[in-house]
Amino acid sequence: MLLPGAQLLHRPLCCLRALGHLPSRSLMNLRELVSALNDFASLSLAESWDNVGLLVEPSPPHTVNTLFLTNDLTEEVMEEAVQKKADLILSYHPPVFTPLKRVTWKTWKERLVVRALEHRIAIYSPHTAYDAIPHGVNNWLTKGLGACTSVPLHPSTAPSYPAEGTHRVEFCVDNTEHLDTVLSRIKDIPEISCLTTLPARVEGEEQTRVSLNCSQTALVEVVALLSQNSLLYHKTEILLLQKPLLPHTGMGRLCTLSEPVSLSDIIERIKSHLKLPHVRLAVGAGKTLESPVKKAALCAGSGSSILKGMEADLYLTEKEAGKHKENMTGNHKALFVSEKQEKHHLDQTVTRSLK
């Protein structure tokens, strides 16, 4: 019998075509499978503090026929994965978070790595990458509220973008000899890119417009150079380059219900969606179970930093009210649920994607 939070996927892994359009085969190379998982949820979307991706890799080549899903990889879950002859464990929470200085039999996390390598089991964790994606944990939680529109609380930015550098500097030069001198000195500055010159007409005069991208460090040197000529410096524009936001992607969700619903009705909806017999609830001063809810802010996991300062009628999170005291002021309500929210997402969304 599978342990709570664990699920076994034992079928030909041609099922991964839905993730990465891989060719049909009965066995799949680990690196190809990891590539497909990364395509499903780009690791670049994970929070900077997180530890995601392939955490343990047996020596190649390593083929995968049996994938074992779990919310948390404990020693007990590891033993079951060994018994089931799993080739890869997908653990939502990363079992290895802080760097290991040694791999011995002393601590349980070290023992997980030892057991995995002994039995040639790879370990992969998506964690906050699965939280951020449009079809991820946060978006799945919004479905428990009923009909609503939602936007990410902390939107994700495009992981890669054609523009290089953090700033763009543009200025005009009216003297060819002066232009050659300035360009020569600019080219000696490290971390300069996309340096271009174009003819321009400024106040009826023919000039040359110079544009370049640079890092924060290089910007200081560029400004110092241009400031040596007051006329040139006063014609300078500095633009901050920002990556575009990804639609429907990011941490947390702010949900606006199509119609106000009582708190008691929302509780029943959440319990049904997460298949929970009960939830923990903290009610704001002057509010009751019949108070209307129009706007809800939610976040998988603790979410204290994501939800902080967010105005809403309801806060849906995993942790207790003590972690969210700053959000419980005024006339707000808060609803807290267990981490089973993540288990059910693995069971439904990820498993469905593997079929």
- CA within 13 Å, CB half, 214: 23
How confident is residue 118, by pLDDT bands cut at 50, 70 and 90? very high
pLDDT at 21: 34
Q: What size, in residues, is the chain? A: 355
For residues 103-119, give the mean pLDDT. 97
Measured CA to CA, the distance from residue 42 to residue 58 in angstroms comes to 22
Between 214 and 2, the higher pLDDT residue? 214
pLDDT in tens, 165-220: 899 999 999 887 788 999 999 999 999 999 999 999 888 888 999 999 999 999 99
Taking phi over 0 as left and psi of -120 to 50 as alpha, with beta for the rest, 245 belongs to beta
Query: Which residues, 6+ apart, have CB-to-CB distance to 289 below 8 Å?
Result: 262, 263, 264, 267, 283
> Is pLDDT of 76 > 80?
yes
Instruction: Give the pLDDT confidence score for residue 102 in this predicted structure.
Output: 95
According to the model, what pLDDT value does residue 161 have?
66
Pairwise pLDDT comparison (176 vs 79), residue with the higher score: 79
Q: Is 93 annotated as a binding residue?
A: yes
**Superfamily name with CATH number, domain 137-156+248-346:** NIF3 (NGG1p interacting factor 3)-like (3.40.1390.30)
Do 6-131 and 137-156+248-346 agree at the fold level?
yes
Annotated binding residue 167: no
For residue 16, name the pLDDT band (cuts at 50, 70, 90): very low
Calculate mean pLDDT across residues 59-63. 95
Give the per-residue pLDDT at 17: 33
Give the confidence band of 10 by pLDDT, cuts at 50, 70, 90.
very low
C-alpha distances (whole Å) from 228 to each of 217, 232, 264 are: 18, 8, 68
What contacts 140, CB < 8 A, 6 or more positions away? 345, 348, 349
What pLDDT does 258 receive? 97
**Which H/E stretch holds residue 114?**
helix 108-118
**pLDDT beyond 80 at 9:** no
Q: What does the block give as tokens for 218?
A: 């290089």
CATH class of the domain comprising 167-240: alpha beta
What is the C-alpha separation between 323 and 257, in angstroms, rounded?
25
Distance CA 305, CA 312 (A): 15
DSSP-derived pairing of the beta strands 280-282 and 334-336: antiparallel
Architecture of domain 6-131: 3-Layer(aba) Sandwich (3.40)
Evaluate whether 255 touches 145 at the Cβ level (below 8 Å). Answer: yes
**Residue 112 per-residue DSSP state:** H
- Cite the DSSP H helix spans in 143-239: 176-187, 216-226, 230-234
Q: Is 170 helix (H, G, I), strand (E, B) or coil?
A: strand
Number of H helices, E strands in the chain: 13, 19
Q: How confident is the model at residue 8 (pLDDT cuts 50, 70, 90)?
A: low
Beta strands in the chain (DSSP E): 6-10, 28-29, 53-56, 63-64, 66-70, 88-91, 122-125, 148-151, 154-157, 167-173, 192-202, 205-214, 237-240, 245-251, 253-262, 280-282, 292-298, 314-317, 334-336
β-pairing verdict for 88-91 and 66-70: parallel
On the question of pLDDT at 19 being above 90, the answer is: no
By percentage, how much of the chain surpasses pLDDT 70? Answer: 81
Look-up: residue for tokens 């105005």? 311
Domain ranges of the chain: 6-131, 137-156+248-346, 167-240
Residue 73 has pLDDT above 80, yes or no: yes
Question: How far apart are alpha carbons 239 and 191 in whole angstroms?
Answer: 16
When pLDDT is cut at 50, 70 and 90, the band that residue 352 belongs to is low
